Structure 1
């Protein structure tokens, strides 16, 4: 019988799927992809593309190694301290995260987004657009954990956000740039239009024109930039006596905004001027006032805090505030590239002061 040959070199090993899953989990913990707690089992299984049975076997190994432990609500808490997060020079993907589908964005935001993606592509970066209203909710942690677990190695540009979401990115040390305003005191980089300065200027202009009864239309789901708008307007009105300000907080629908405007016009101090946040709502206000037979600006003046290309075609041309899209894109693109290349940005707020476009509605 012929003897079986023997070899001095190690035999090839078959690596099980459980072992590969353990390795992927260790890497995620080591690089800081997850901190505090691991995502829920369902989200982890989906992100790693393995079955729940395989995932649980891998998690048992991590528990045996004292890397994680089961805590409240069966969440697995990470026990061992993480090594220093590596430099992000290998990160070439920029995630663009927003709550509103692309097709529902107003024209100016569409142009900005398209120009920004072109700029990032020319610089050698990929950009992925993600739409997730749940990430912008009052309790975004679960949705954010699922999203980040599915897209490791990504830095994020967040279009409009609220405090719970901002705090989650801080606590989890995920590199991001807030496109919009960040809650005061939170150490995140942000870039936004200076709505406070714009509305302060608008208020002073209306006072010089003799207006004493004013209105400000803001959406109920307002972001910090909208709060700045009210603050800036009140700053301009405070020194003057006999001023009445109606703040119309609407739900974004035409019907609600028009009802609030009708109620203000029927009040004891009907507004003779109105400043409107968001260009699309300025269209609604202008059309409704004309439908009521009011002459603009003879009976009531209208100022839009934001710009839209269609304003140039309206009659009368709407008075508004505008920023340079090329300058805005350049600033965002430069910050995004720095974030992708280094993983950090100074936690400061950058404000772009918009230009006043006189129009014909004041």
Structure 2
């Protein structure tokens, strides 16, 4: 039986020190980037480290310096293009400032979010960026804040938590998108969101524990009521948490005796599944039903017809929140900022007047 080759022992600071003929403490200062050494000694230690293929022990270095140069990020659903693009913004800002990023996905579940925060703290990250899955249970976020480790919130605000926050104008964006449909003549409009609220039926805003979703539903209902639409909440659907659930909700709406003539989707993942359900029924956009979605995902501009969207500055959201956190990590002590970025409506071909039969 052939014996498996033994793994080479990782090179240590002591190995580098012996090769460079300096003390272990001196080698540690050079390799850790702290303290004062001569240019000659630094060059000697650096050359020895390269020759030995030395790889730093990041945990040990963070225990020595008190810094890991790592930012922890927790988002709701990394498969959602919105969060993927926001994380790209975070990563680019972090890299430019000399930080690395560890990403965790909560799946919009509070217990998974708490576990992710614990894991990242265990990794000794310098600061965290979190998209809170809900506003009821934020003890773990308060604990981060109290510990002195900087925390910033992405996309969802928590008014009771005094930390840097970057969001978009969700309520106003929903009002503008709904008015596009109302101005086209629609009075029977549905709103579909992934957030869960003890079932799929909407009763009031107290069901909604995700701030951005609460703002959007509030804006949608406000625009409908301002237009004199009766009981607009009857077409709000919650819980589009998977392809299967979204398809079930879409089929339910499209087969209803009060079938909506227009749908506003809370994100592009939901909108794509609604589009599939519409086409499977042989219905046409916008002749039979109109559709608008939040987030200008790549696919929305190449369908026939292309989809009208609420264009959110997603990359800027991520980049900006990372910049705010990095400022804190560099010693900024000014009061927390709550930045609200503007959205825009991109009008395409998916909105038309309601069918004559309605």
Tell me the TM-score range normalised by the shorter chain. Answer: 0.5 to 0.7
CA deviation profile, 1:314-350 (whole Å, cap 9, x unmatched): 1110100113455434422321221221265634432
**Does the alignment pair 1:123 with 2:123?**
no
Residues paired across the two proteins, number: 272
* Other-structure match for 1:226: 213
Say whether residues 1:162 and 2:134 are aligned partners: yes
**Which of 154, 161, 185 matches 1:179?**
154
| 1:302 to partner: Cα distance | 0.2
Change (3 A) 1:242 1:93: closer
Query: In structure 1, how many angstroms separate the alpha carbons of the residues matched to 2:329 and 2:254?
Result: 50
Displacement of 1:132 after TM fit?
5.2
Q: Distance in 2 between matches of 1:116 and 1:275?
A: 28
CA distance in 1, matches of 2:243, 2:227: 32
Following TM superposition, the consecutive aligned residue runs of length 4 or more in structure 1 with deviations greater than 4 angstroms are 88-91, 138-143
**Post-superposition offset of 1:258:** 2.6
CA spacing shift, 1:219–1:295, aligned 2, 3 Å: same
State the secondary structure of the residue aligned to 2:74: strand
Match in the other structure for 2:51? none
Report deviation, 1:179: 0.6
Distance 1:331 1:281 in 2: 26
Q: Does 1:308 align with 2:297?
A: yes
Residue aligning to 1:137:
110
Q: 1:207 to 1:243 in 2, by over 3 A?
A: farther
| Mapped pair 1:269 → 2:234 | no
Contact 1:200 1:232 survives alignment (8 Å): yes
Give TM-score scaled by structure 2 length.
Answer: 0.67
TM-score, with structure 1 as normaliser: 0.66
The whole-number CA distance in structure 1 between the counterparts of 2:139 and 2:76 is 17
**Could you tell me whether the CA contact under 8 Å between 2:72 and 2:120 is conserved in 1?**
no
Q: Deviations over 1:149-201 (max 9, x none)?
A: x1335100113432356332224414211112123333232212222111100
Provide the residue aligned with 1:93 in structure 2: 70
Change (3 A) 1:171 1:115: closer
Which runs of 5 or more structure 2 residues have no equivalent in the other structure?
1-58, 197-207, 352-358
Distance 2:281 2:300 in 1: 21
